[in-house]
Structure 1
Amino acid sequence: MRPGRFGVGARRCAGRRALRWFAGALGIILLAAAIPVLAADATSGPSAGSTPRLATVDWGLAQDLIAMGVTPLAVGQTSGYETWVGQPKLPPGTHNLGLRSQPNLELLSQLDPDRILITGMYAALKPKLAAVAPVTTVDVYFTPGPVWDKTVAAAKKLGRITHRPQAAQALIQRTEEAVRHAAQRLPDDVAPLLVIQFSDAQHVYVFGRGSLIGATLQRMGLTNAWQGETSRWGSAQIPLSRLASVQTGRVVVMGPIPVGLRQRLAHNRLWQSLATVRNAPVVYIPGVWSFGGLPSASRFARLVTAALRSAPASGPGWPEQTERSS
């Protein structure tokens, strides 16, 4: 080995070690700088476990969300919700999207929801709504199967969407307990119930197979007096005269009532001649959203039990008797 070669090699080795150290340090610096950017990308939507900001045009979905402790960012036709749904109340600050069938897309864009929830009823709106935010369908009446099971499944799906599966399960348990408790408080020997809702003085909606009302009656151990055909939603709009085909049972009138109807029915001979009106005093309950979520089931069970417990055994019933509030 020639003199001095060892010294030159040592210097080269030291230089390479310094270069590797510099490259490693530079990599660490670049990685540290990139971490905030990566974190920002990962949280550009709702963070895992946080509740997304949700808008919906459907009152039944709004019901379930509120009952699970989730405040909807916006709901369609909020004034109609108060009239037809009633409970649970819309939380303060819930925005009104306007008509459920024609929501205010400009307002929706300004609110910038994380997700929009619809049912199959509003499928035609999906392309327009999807231009604002991702759209998820949570359906009951456009899928096959028992309506009670589908209503429960919808609540569970909302629990997954909102990252609140335990709240969804708690809602399901509360509903089942409420229906069971209402059933235990029923009077003895309740006749089959004919549940109707007036659309005008000559037409009613009647609730039968496939309706949430019918499913709740069944879970309460009650018989539904309407065994006729129903629509996809488990109801049928029929002339008042068709109720004459039902000879056995007791009428339950569900609100809201069209203006002036009570006075007109008091002098309506067809109404007074119906066997189900003559059989027992007609009972009235405040409005229940029959196409709703689980809160509608527990509300109906509670109201119908209270109405039957307080109804007279004979004599005049509704509309002569004063309507009870919710």
Structure 2
Amino acid sequence: MKSAVSLCLFGLLLTLSRTGLALEITDSTGVHHFDKTPQRVIALSWNNVENLVELDITPLAIADISGYNTWVAQPTLPEKVADVGVRHQPSLERIARLKPDLIIIGSTQGAMLQKLKLIAPVLYFDDFHADHDNEESARSTFIKLARLFDREELALKKLEKQKAKLNELRQQVADHFNGEPPSVDVVRLTNLSHVYIHDSNSMVHAALSALGLKESISLPASTWGVGLRPMTQLTEVEGVLLQIEPFPLEDKLFNLPFWKAMPFANARRQGSVEPAWSYGGISSRYYMAEKLSKALLELPSDAPEAKP
């Protein structure tokens, strides 16, 4: 009898211990403790919206639903999520009326921290820096949130599933180009004269690496993993150029003589990528790779190398 009671007490203590660990989380400001798992969560940074949805958690509200659906697209946002305004300046009144028990913010929202703390506890994940690996930081934040919401097993399973799928996509791309895939540069077009080129600290670079691909243009690592450059720098592209949609001026740009003279255009090595978020959580690496590989598989496998 005593043995059974002891085992029950041990199990209870173990459960309490695990619960205590699950409700302790470290963000960019320090260690936080929660008495219970948050239920009414508002995420103002899109990368953390991604994290919540990947953990099968429906946020109470997010910032700029329309923008999320246009630029991020995946994972698909659940229905019945409220909108609290733009990411950089959300409505504090709307947030307060929803009575959240947790607000999650990201790198562009640090200035709002103190005001938001007057409404509810805040977790601030400053995941984007030039002096650290943004991909690893994104992975760490995902796992931390999974532990807080008691979803660590789900998180690890999702990451393993994504890893397996990335290996499949890598092989498909290699096979398509007969074992010798070209270099691939991925950009976001901004206007008719400038372009954002991704560097080694971007989720785009992480996606390309997972697919076994390399860029031909090398930029120094930056906070957000992109550098704004003149369009003329695209003459340095040696292989494929992929541009992430949307870009409303693409028809006009692609018909300009200087664009048609670009090496990749002459070599039939230009493609468009369905909307995917370059500044997302760790799962955005997978979604980006999925869409990059789709665009690559639509290109001719025997296209000649681009020549300057």
TM-score (norm 1): 0.77
Aligned residues of 1:178 and 1:301 also touching (Cα < 8 A)? no
Q: Which residue of 2 aligns with 1:283?
A: 271
What is the TM-score normalised by the length of structure 2?
A: 0.81
Identity of aligned residues (%): 26
C-alpha distance 230-240 of structure 1, shift in aligned 2 (>3 A)? farther
Q: Does the 8 Å CA contact 2:88/2:108 hold for their aligned counterparts?
A: no
Matching of residue 180 in structure 1 with residue 144 in structure 2: no
The equivalent of 2:9 in structure 1 is none
Q: CA–CA distance in 2 between the matches of 1:142 and 1:234? A: 9
Matched residues in 2 for 1:228 and 1:278: separation?
24
> Where does residue 59 of structure 1 map in the other structure?
46
Change (3 A) 1:70 1:309: same
Matches within 5 A, 1:233-244: 233-244=224-235
Residue type matched to 1:205 in 2?
Answer: Y
The answer to whether 1:311 aligns with 2:302 is: no
Amino acid at match of 1:126: L
Give the C-alpha shift of residue 46 in structure 1: 7.5
Q: Distance in 1 between matches of 2:51 and 2:157?
A: 11
Partner of residue 211, structure 2: 220
**CA shift for structure 1 position 313:** 4.6
Match of 1:104 in 2: 91
Q: Secondary structure of 1:185's partner?
A: helix
Q: Residue 149 in 1 paired to residue 140 in 2?
A: no
Superposed CA deviations along residues 60-96 of structure 1, whole A, max 9, x for unmatched, are: 1101110110001110011000000001111111110
Distance 1:176 1:314, change over 3 A: closer
Aligned to 1:30: none
More displaced, 158-167 or 247-256?
A: 158-167
The residue number in structure 2 matching 1:253 is: 243
Query: Deviations 1:269-305 (Å, cap 9, x if unpaired)?
Result: 2212222332333111111100001332111111121
- Does the Cα contact within 8 Å between 2:199 and 2:222 map onto a contact in 1? no
1:270 has 2:261 as partner:
no
Q: Superposition pairs for residues 119-198 of structure 1, below 5 Å?
A: 119-142=106-129, 144-186=131-173, 187-188=176-177, 189-198=180-189
- Partners in 1 of 2:121 and 2:254 — Cα distance? 51
Distance 2:204 2:257 in 1: 28
Q: Which runs of 5+ in 1 are unaligned?
A: 1-44, 316-326
Per-residue deviation, 1:247: 4.4
Structure 1 residues 263, 219: closer, same or farther in 2, change over 3 A?
closer
Cα offset, 1:142, TM superposition? 3.3
Give 4+ residue runs of structure 1 displaced > 4 Å after superposition: none
Q: Corresponding residue for 1:34?
A: none
Report the equivalent of 1:20.
none
1:147 Cα deviation after fit: 2.4
Question: Would the aligned equivalents of 1:183 and 1:220 in 2 still touch at CA under 8 Å?
Answer: yes
Question: Does structure 2 conserve the Cα–Cα contact (< 8 Å) formed by 1:198 and 1:204?
Answer: yes
Match of 2:196 among 186, 198, 205: 205
Q: Which range moved further: 198-207 or 55-64?
A: 198-207
Cα distance between partner residues in 2 of 1:149 and 1:280: 35
**Structure index of larger Rg:** 1
Quote how far apart the aligned CAs of 1:196 are: 0.8
Distance 2:271 2:148 in 1: 39
Tell me the distance in 1 between the aligned counterparts of 2:160 and 2:266: 38
The whole-number CA distance in structure 1 between the counterparts of 2:130 and 2:196 is 22
Aligned-pair Cα RMSD in Å = 2.0
Distance 1:151 1:84 in 2: 18
